[in-house]
Amino acid sequence: MKINLFPFAEYWWFYAAFTGFVLLLLAIDLGVFHRKAHAVSFREAAIWTVVWISLALGFNFLLYQYALWKFPQDPRLLAIPGFDPAAAAQVVSLEFLAGYIVEKSLSVDNIFVFVVIFSYFAIPAMYQHRVLFYGIMGALIFRAIFIAMGSVLMQYHWVILIFGAFLIITGIKMMFAPEKKIDPNKNPLIRLFRKLVPVTQELHGQRFFLKEKGMVYATPLFITLLFVEISDVIFAVDSVPAIFALTSEPMIVFSSNIFAILGLRAMYFMLAGAVDKFYLLKYGLAVVLIFVGLKMVWLNDLYGGKFPISLSLGIIGGVIALSVALSLLFTKDQRESENGGQS
């Protein structure tokens, strides 16, 4: 029997408080630390990466401690035969960690796309943080909508099977399909926007819009932001079902997803120049998507309705760590030189 440990009717205050906390962090980020446009250095990005990861792990620890305190006092849960409050609290913590790792790993694909987008539109480094900041704001809204929809749809077993099959197919395509070049001008939404709103040929500082002779113009910086948002919606189609494969708790999906997104900008500025070195990571991510898809369509039923989260975490962490290690051990330049020597 599936049970919701954190029903929305009882934990609406958490969603409100958590959203307020996130907005406060973003306000401090933009209003204090990035008030003036500047190119984010590797050192600054690394510090912020540590900060965001520490916040996520700290939140997970507090969530675990709260569950340890709350579950033994919840008569609804204690009425369930065989319910173990301590074991349930541990599962909650592991599910958050697994969801965070999956979303954080899938974010590397976002970083590669961001690199291509900024290069395509020739966005200077000093303005990239502003684009990503508002891109993250939009991502938070879209993820919240996707997660709310997912929490409703995932109550139906046939939807779980469809999502699982979709993740398996996506993983297989990621593993074998050739990479496609990104051309924002061919995107139908970008083309529609250009028909509705005039766009300036050049950047105007960090402004997204400007008004000249009574007309409102969008700048290339806003077109860049629009494409970043479109890209994130596409990635969310993969990542949200992947986390729902690890936990059926919307609160865990929401919080782990949001924390991973919050650290995306810092991770971009830290890895943008080296993202090509992790060329085998996409195969690791493909294996992870296939695994979580199999978990939804087969493994959960095989294990009586719930594949052990500790085993899931070990598989996911092991696959991602192995793909990163192999990328660094057998570099892309080394592989290309060996292939060139054999031809």
- pLDDT of amino acid 335: 60
CB atoms within 10 A of CB 38: 12
In a domain, 210, yes or no: no
- Report pLDDT for 237: 81
Asked if residue 164 is part of any domain, the answer here is yes
123-137 average pLDDT score: 88
Three-state secondary structure readout of 252-310: HHHHHHHHHHHCHHHHHHHHCCCHHHCCCHHHHHHHHHHHHHHHHHHHHHHCCCCCCHH
Q: Supply the range of the domain harboring residue 322.
A: 8-179+219-338
Helix 8-28, helix 125-153: angle, nearest 10: 180
Spell out a b/e string for 92-107, using b for 16 or more CB atoms within 10 Å of the CB, else e: bbbbbbbbbbbbbbbb
Convert the pLDDT of each residue in 224-279 to its tens digit.
999 889 888 888 887 888 889 889 899 999 999 999 998 888 888 888 777 778 88
* Residue 264 located in a structural domain: yes
Binning the chain into helix, strand and coil, the percentages to the nearest 5 are 75, 5, 20
**CB contact at 8 A, 189 and 230:** yes
pLDDT digits (tens, 9 = 90+) for 315-341: 999 999 999 999 989 876 666 565 655
The pLDDT value given to residue 38: 74
Q: What is the pLDDT of residues 61-96, one digit of tens each?
A: 999 999 999 999 999 898 888 889 999 999 999 999
Q: Per the domain annotation, does 195 fall within a domain? A: no
Q: What is the dihedral of CA 190, 191, 194, 200, to 10 degrees?
A: 70
Q: What is the mean pLDDT of residues 270-299?
A: 87
Which is more confidently placed, 195 or 93? 93
On whether residue 322 sits in a domain, the answer given is yes
pLDDT the model gives residue 234: 81
Average pLDDT over residues 146-152: 89
Question: Is residue 343 scored above 50 in pLDDT?
Answer: no
Instruction: Give me the number of domains the chain comprises.
Output: 1
Asked if the structure places residue 184 within a domain, the reply is no
